[in-house]
Chains A and B, each alone.
Chain A
Amino acid sequence: AQSVSQHNHHVILSEAASLELGCNYSYGGTVNLFWYVQYPGQHLQLLLKYFSGDPLVKGIKGFEAEFIKSKFSFNLRKPSVQWSDTAEYFCAGLYNTDKLIFGTGTRLQVFP
């Protein structure tokens, strides 16, 4: 079955630390991948997406993600986090349809 998994459920970091959130997707033919962020009390916003081309994707707010086909991974990274990055992060995959399949989310807390 098509699925997206996020193994980090809760990550706590200090400001300026580097961030990497894991995302793995199941095989299912062509898959497009997304990272969304949900700030406290706000709606889901798109951070970045991968459809094709350069596997290193740069998004908003200094985030990037790397599509590694051999590992079925699409990990999210940021070299130096800020307190304002505290949020819930969701990885999602689009398999041949327009139905997004979401991972369970990772709660990131950044302390000053």
Chain B
Amino acid sequence: GAVVSQHPSRVICKSGTSVKIECRSLDFQATTMFWYRQFPKKSLMLMATSNEGSKATYEQGVEKDKFLINHASLTLSTLTVTSAHPEDSSFYICSAERGGLAGTTYEQYFGPGTRLTVT
């Protein structure tokens, strides 16, 4: 159990267009989802925390108008990269936090990532 999917796995878009990435928790409800960006040979950098039914909380330095996050349900969060530019090319990873189960400790489950290339 605890599977998180992302769609698409890979996308190429032209500069100036917008791209939407979906993150779904397939077999559990996730009140909180996270969006990370992974640069080559670097760590995962948290971009924002997404809570179902409320506005996302962005990390310092992340443009909220450029990276739109919507967490419309307990199983789906979307990240939209608006007016994408080549510098936005990266590997975007989401994770979902499963909570509310008695006797369990905190754990995030990660999606497989989305490779975005902006030309």
Instruction: Report the nearest B residue to A4, measured CB to CB.
Output: B43
Q: Known contacts A42-B112, A43-B111; can you find 10 more A-B pairs with CB under 8 A?
A: A44-B44, A44-B95, A45-B110, A51-B105, A51-B106, A94-B106, A99-B46, A102-B43, A102-B45, A105-B43
Picked from A49, A99, A103, A104, the residue with its CB within 8 Å of the CB of B107 is A49
CB <8 Å contact, A44 and B93: yes
Q: Closest approach, in angstroms, between the C-beta of B85 and any C-beta of chain A?
A: 25
Give residues in B with beta carbon < 8 Å to A: 4, 32, 34, 41-46, 49, 93, 95, 97, 105-108, 110-113
Task: Name A's interface SS.
Answer: strand
Q: Closest approach, in angstroms, between the C-beta of A60 and any C-beta of chain B?
A: 13
Question: A9 vs B41: C-alpha distance in the bound complex, in angstroms?
Answer: 9
Give the interface residue-count category, chain A: 20 to 34
CB <8 Å contact, A104 and B43: yes
Q: Residue A32 at the B interface, CB < 8 A?
A: yes
> Given the complex, which residues of A lie within 8 Å of B95, measured CB to CB?
44
> Given the complex, which residues of A lie within 8 Å of B46, measured CB to CB?
99-101
> Given the complex, which residues of A lie within 8 Å of B49, measured CB to CB?
98-99
> Given the complex, which residues of A lie within 8 Å of B42, measured CB to CB?
104-105
Interface bits A27-55 vs B (CB < 8 Å: 1, else 0): 00000100010000011111001010000
> Given the complex, which residues of A lie within 8 Å of B43, measured CB to CB?
90, 102-105
Instruction: Report the nearest B residue to A36, measured CB to CB.
Output: B110
CB <8 Å contact, B105 and A49: yes
Q: Closest approach, in angstroms, between the C-beta of B114 and any C-beta of chain A?
A: 11
Question: A44 vs B95: C-alpha distance in the bound complex, in angstroms?
Answer: 9
